[in-house]
Structure 1
């Protein structure tokens, strides 16, 4: 197995590192305090190609492979974890469109994703259906003219929900269960949609929101794939994006660990740097080891995606492990700083608040483990 990055990937990472240091890191804490993404963030990321990573070149995108997308997510998350949601949603929706949309639909929707004009939301979770997404309740009722539907119901916990003008909305067009769910590329600027911001512990700038649909119209040309195929489409997309999420979490954990190691070299106690004490050094070494191992698991999943093979097992392993590992690593970094880490002047506390959110979002640890169990044990002998 070749673990060497291609020269163009190395060059791209160096470019992203410089970009992150200059354009992202200085705003990370300020955006959290303001509780909003600054207006120039998305255009700035779009100019770096970060909104169009998975968009084909013919639609103005980078047509990057899955591994390169993951590398970019990890590097961006090191500097501004919350800015990475722009990359994540753009990539996930792009993959959903590539898997299920017609060429005409892709030509309609993907150029604006690549340019950053629209960063689409993924509208799946509902107040009563989070992990049980196959039983979602939001309805798509047939329109009077028979050429479309009216969306009725509520979505919640929608990342970028307060900002985005469009979203992939999953709605019930048929009977119960997964086969009754269809996907629509919907206009979220419709007057019949209202938004309520959620007051969150972390990732305060990403505009997580509840969306209320009171008859928002979608036409037949807005349906992605065939009727009743929406849930299947999003599950395929999640199998890939969960590895990207893993790398987002490892990026922020690596940044916190780097800061803790620098502090351990400089801070003195009992006449010597605290890094010379095993009680300080060994926990940092343990987390550095585990982060490296988890990173390779994420790369394996993305390499399988690029090879046209099923990434479900390593991607879901990465989804339950990497966020938990990252939260634990950032926590240890905070403890390494001691009282200095407890102050809000230090970004370690914000990193901890932010990364915990992805222990919940886009599939809990229990759901990821369930997917893996069914692959390893078989459906008839798994939970």
Structure 2
């Protein structure tokens, strides 16, 4: 494995650090406003910080997947919520680029990379949760197009211009007979409802209801009835990105806590002198380093066109748990000050917690790992 940071990657890392410094002071304001400003997205796109791994002909930078991960970790140190633009952008743009008709891809992928628009992804349903392979949403043929009915929950439900959704197009076993579609969210029959989440508020998560929504036939992604298996392959990429997303938020919290404990006085000395304070932080540093290497390895495997489904699942269940545990320890190390809303620790804890749920729970990820090791015959 080679995680060498070449000159091109370093340029993106420096750009991401500069952008992070710019947006950090307004993190709390974005939460209060419950949105990520369009102009901020566009600046992010202009700097090449959204889906840089896309080919240049579709608005990307032709960079490595590993570069995307490096970008995300840096921006997440300032605001984990803003990195959703990049994580969702990379996932959905690759799905569209790989599966959509050329005209659809040329219309939407550059808009994603530039920050001009967001295309969400609707996999989960209010009544389904982790049972993503058995959607209640349906799509039926009508003339040359499709009619969509059902409800999805998704990030950017309130702000996206379109979404990728999964719907049942024929009867079949779990995971079969499911097709993927791109649906513009300004079509008749669409209703958006905000959710009152405890974290990631500025991402605008919510429910999108589709009531006899008509879309053209060209909006089908991939082959009819094969959408679940074809499109889900893109999640191996996003799961590694999510790992670095939460690591960035945890790492900046840990850095702040090392500094705080070296300055906070108790019993006539810095509290960092006490093993009960410093040793848990040393353990946190170790765990974050290990989680980061796992995520970087997974992206390296993707860049090398090697299998990485198992590693991606490891990233998705373990990194969010590690990040949450680290931030929790840092809050405790700050004592009463960590519990104040004046500090960013409590928001980071709330934001990171949501990623132990979204994009697949730990139980689903462990099931994937077991199946990769045992095969379906012997796995749960």
CA deviation map 1:289-316 (0-9, x unaligned): 0111111111111111111111101110
Please tell me whether residue 138 in structure 1 is matched to residue 134 in structure 2: no
Structure-to-structure mapping, 1:158-307, within 5 angstroms: 158-176=154-172, 177-307=174-304
State the match for 1:112 in structure 2: 111
State the match for 1:317 in structure 2: 314
State the match for 1:347 in structure 2: 344
Unmatched segments (≥5 aa) in structure 1: none
Give the TM-score normalised by the residue count of structure 2: 0.97
| TM-aligned CA deviation for residue 33 of structure 1 | 2.3
Please tell me whether residue 10 in structure 1 is matched to residue 10 in structure 2: yes
Q: Is the 8 A contact 2:194 2:206 kept in 1?
A: yes
| TM-aligned CA deviation for residue 26 of structure 1 | 0.9
For the residues of structure 2 that align with 1:309 and 1:99, how far apart are their CA atoms? 18
Give the TM-score normalised by the residue count of structure 1: 0.96
| TM-aligned CA deviation for residue 85 of structure 1 | 0.6
For the residues of structure 2 that align with 1:51 and 1:185, how far apart are their CA atoms? 20
Moved over 4 A (4+): none
Secondary structure of 1:292's match? Answer: helix
CA deviation map 1:301-360 (0-9, x unaligned): 111111111110111011110000000000011011111111100000000000000000
CA deviation map 1:25-79 (0-9, x unaligned): 1111111123222342212211222234233101222122111111111111111
Q: Which moved more, 1:133-142 or 1:4-13?
A: 4-13
Secondary structure of 1:36's match? Answer: coil
For the residues of structure 2 that align with 1:339 and 1:273, how far apart are their CA atoms? 17
State the match for 2:85 in structure 1: 86
The CA RMSD measured in Å over matched residues stands at 1.2
| TM-aligned CA deviation for residue 185 of structure 1 | 1.1
Q: Which moved more, 1:42-51 or 1:271-280?
A: 42-51
Please tell me whether residue 155 in structure 1 is matched to residue 152 in structure 2: yes
CA deviation map 1:192-226 (0-9, x unaligned): 10000000011111100100001111221111111
State the match for 2:360 in structure 1: 363
- How many corresponding residue pairs? 379
Q: Is the 8 A contact 1:178 1:228 kept in 2?
A: no
Q: Is the 8 A contact 1:51 1:119 kept in 2?
A: no
State the match for 2:76 in structure 1: 77
For the residues of structure 1 that align with 2:187 and 2:297, how far apart are their CA atoms? 41
Q: Is the 8 A contact 2:12 2:49 kept in 1?
A: no
Q: Is the 8 A contact 1:173 1:182 kept in 2?
A: yes
Q: Is the 8 A contact 2:3 2:296 kept in 1?
A: no
For the residues of structure 1 that align with 2:322 and 2:188, how far apart are their CA atoms? 42
Unmatched segments (≥5 aa) in structure 2: none
Q: Is the 8 A contact 1:99 1:233 kept in 2?
A: no
For the residues of structure 1 that align with 2:194 and 2:187, how far apart are their CA atoms? 17
For the residues of structure 1 that align with 2:199 and 2:20, how far apart are their CA atoms? 20
Secondary structure of 2:140's match? Answer: strand
| TM-aligned CA deviation for residue 108 of structure 1 | 2.6
